[in-house]
Structure 1
Amino acid sequence: MQILHFLFVVLMTMRRKNMEVKTSGQLYSKLFYIDTAILCCVVLAMTVFFFTSTRNRFLEQNLKYMGMMSESADSYLKETSDIAEYIHEDLYKSSMELNDALHYLTDGPADYQQYRLDTYFDSKISEYKGIEAFFLDAFQAYQSLSRIMFYSYERGMVTEYTRDGKSYKRFADKVFLKRVESGDLVEENCFFYLKEIRDPINMQVKGCMLLGFESGKFESIRQYYSRAELAVFNDAGTVVFDSNGNYKASEIMEAEDAGTLESFLGAYVEQSQTGRYHTISYLEKRLASAVPMPVILMILLVGLGALALGETFVRYHLKRLEQRLDRILDGMIKVMEGDLKVRIPSNRNGDELDVISSYFNEMCINLEEHINKRYLAEIEQKNAEMAALQSQINPHFLYNTLEAVRMMAICNGDREVGKMLYSLAVTFRAQIKEADVITLAQELHYSKKYIELFEFRYPGQFQMLMECPEEYLQIPVIKFVLQPIIENYFIHGIRMKETDNFIRISVEKEKEEVKIVVEDNGIGMTETELAVKNRELAENFMEKQASIGIANVNRRLKAVYGKGYGIHMEARPGGGLRVILRFRPQEAPAGEGCRDREN
């Protein structure tokens, strides 16, 4: 902006030398093109920045989802592994069911049935619990358990149990035996855990249980995190689940062993292992940070909107500068023609053109003073007379006038106006006539009158509560500490569309310290805003240009009572704000109370 102003000043000088040139269109065009180029570069940089940030955000989100998918798949494997372990342990906890299983694995059908009958009669139980009941209970207890196969090493018999309570027997073939030996326990939509069954007396292995679980759960997990791919396979290289299908399990295992899995897949990879099962979650790098087309279009539209808005602002700003320059030049022409009363508006923008305008106005004033000394003396005399008249309107006169207007309103039957004027008069008198230190009763009284003024402004929209024990009323306090807090609530905190607003002022005392709590259920402040405001209050920070308010009251409290006192703000439970004023009272001033003094 300094360069722009310098160029305009140079142009003004040129026009002063050549007054026939009245337009600045050429300079306007140059500055417009330069600003447009800069604006395009800024918008382009912002668009690239937002696009890059969006890509990074999508990458971070997709990697997070991939990790969550890997955790879910691994959690399912751990859950099924634990279930298989629980079932195996439960079998050993019941001697009847374990013995039934051992006889089923070693005895022929006739001997097994004879064992069951003998056990039933000898134990004199109402219900015999064999291996079928045990497996049926397991199916009912674990919904993810889909199949159970019972394999006898001695008999070579495989018995399969399903959730409907049915069982199917067959002799083990070579393929089955090879899969059991290699641990390749995967079938369509099902994967198994092998649990050997030993005789607890001699610890000989009699057979095994193959506990099968649904592999369709992995498809549900993968669909929830759709961008990433999921592959589950066992140590033998047999696939349990593969959402992609473009890679062989053996190739993935080779790359995993070589430590080149990420480069082989060209993706970000999460891998884990539970027992004999491996989980590979991967997200292709070209898709990991891909931004959806609607998001790209939205970024471009926002960029174009920012460019259009910025272009409008540039045109408007340059037009204003051109108009201000023309006003200065027109003023110079009028002075050259002998008109010393011309004035150019200044002190509106605080830039160099305002400085030039101000100097130009001072020059005209000085010239006019030298020419019109007699008239100026007469004007000064009249100004002195006016100042003398104004000095007669003092605060006492204004207060008495308000009191006279109030009495007239009451006499005319308008008690509401009289009440409002009384509250205004009491508030006005408190600010100009009371001592610097008053009693707490007086401060609460004046605050109540001040709040009554807002009752006229916001009728029926809020309630006011004041709570102060009688023994605290004569505590001395510096005046004018509550009114700024109350005013802050009505300016910034009250909810204009609601009628259940309230403001409560209560007084508490802890040892030698007095606390005045101003509490409301208004808009309140965020935790960040409260932290910043409390830090400023603790550091006794107040902007030079700020009006009288919370910071001013805080500074006065610290100046009178010490740095350990002042104002603290906190959020009110249920919404709103609590402003706490802390001070340590000194001796109360003699002869002051909460009643109004007569004039």
Structure 2
Amino acid sequence: MKRVIDFYRKHYKQKLFNKILTMYAIITIVSLATLSAFVYTYLNNSQVQKELDLNKQILAGVGSHLDIKHATSQQIIQQIYRDGPSASSALLSDVLSFLQNNFSDYLNKRLLQYSATGVRTPDINSFLRLLLANNPDIRTVALYSKDKKFLFTLTKDTQNYYYVDGDLQAVIGKYIATGKSYTTVSNINNMTTQESIGNLIIDYDSTAIYRTFQNKTDEMKGYIVVLTPAGDVIYDSSNRYYGKPYPYTSLLNNPSSIQRFEEESYINMQTTNKFGYWIVGVIPKSAINGNMKGLKNTLILVTVICIVAAITLTYFTIVNFSRRTKVIVQAMKKVQDGDLSVRIPREKEDELFQISSRFNQMCEDLTQYIDRVYKSEIREKHAELVAFQAQIKPHFLYNTLEAIRMRALSKKADDVGEMIYILATLFRYSVKSETIVKLSDEIEYCRLYLDLFRIRLLQKFTYEINIEPEWMSIPILKLSIQPIIENYIIHGLNMSQSDNHLTISAEWDGRDLQLVISDNGNGIEPLRLMQLRSSLEQHPPQASNSIGLINVNERLKICFGSSYGLQMNSEAGKGTDITVKIPAGQGGQQFA
């Protein structure tokens, strides 16, 4: 028992793929076995129904045959009466004469009649012989006289005249119905007195029933019997029950379609014929099952092959997944032991491929993080920010002083003092040690800078700032907007026009804030625009004439991440739009 428990824990409880294989095998076996059983049951039921339908057709044919023979007997008796209702009708008169006289007296009367008239009238003997010749299924035709107690029988080969005594049915059983036949008995009445004077008895050969389904014997299963309600056998296609009562008559009163006769059998029965006979079709289940045995064996073989194929294919598939999973587990164990150089080979592009890719990427990232101490990385980034700002400050100071100098040389005015005041304010902001400031501080700095140039250019330059007050508290990188404005003043401002205009606006997409600096200046040529965009996408940045834009873009990416920075759109002669994308939530607080 302990070995069984150990085997269960080792090979099943702790093995996911063994569980999957076991469950799949169970599902496959149950599903295919159920499907095969359903198919076999369906085909077996279809075969049973087919045989029962064929059997019903045969029974209907036998019933029609019996009805035709019954109708034939009625037509024969009608032919006797056809000449009219009077007793003087020729054939009817001859029949009455035959039944009401001894045979010798009957012959004498006919001879006297022929001598007197010279006309040969129809006689019953000729009529009956013609009847036998035209109806091969009639074995014997007979006339029975109630008054004279005789029986005249006629076959194709013989003619007999018997004096009888006793019940008519006993007479028929003794002299006419001697086996494998069935009879019809019709009254012959005196048309004047309406009294019965005798009977016309026609005995049909029951073996002729075989012809009704002869062309279906190859398809037919079981046998057909025709019985009287008392159980006497009229016809038996199996030739086993002639001359004795049918032994299963009592079971025929049970309406069940399956009965235990010689063996368990399907039963069809028809009783609607004019004779009132029971026409029974018996189909042993073994006869149908014998045909289905080959199909059953084939279904079992196909099912076993499908089960083996499905489980084999699943096994090799799961073994492949198990092997790949084992490689991943072993790699994880190596990482757990401190080996970050391990890499998982990637095969098919599936979930395990994605796990392997993520695992490899995780190892690479861990290696990089371990190679760089977290604090050292922060200091390095902070130093980069200070270095970028140091590049901007001298450049900005030079341009500002040059503007004041040019204004002082061109025109001596009182507004020089205001410009110097603005300049001093700008210097105070620029020398602050903070790296991250509020958006309101950066916008105020840009406004002072723009006022400085508005005073210088008088009526040739205007600006507009459209930013919602609730966004003013969002953190932003210091000196991230001013270099863009400066780039416009230097390269985009068109001194030949008097409507130079700059707009600073903001848009929030629910996650990030986009500051848009738009102007109607000179714009950028397509080739130059493509070069600038390429420079902004490179990391680390390469040397370029647009130091201010590239530095701002790189500082934003260092501070906020690679998905943030600058985007440029421009059309030569119409102006430029530069978008500064920053996170509205985090705001670079890790560097504050």
TM-score, length of structure 1 as denominator length: 0.47
Q: TM-score with structure 2 length normalisation?
A: 0.47
Pick the structure with greater CA Rg: 2
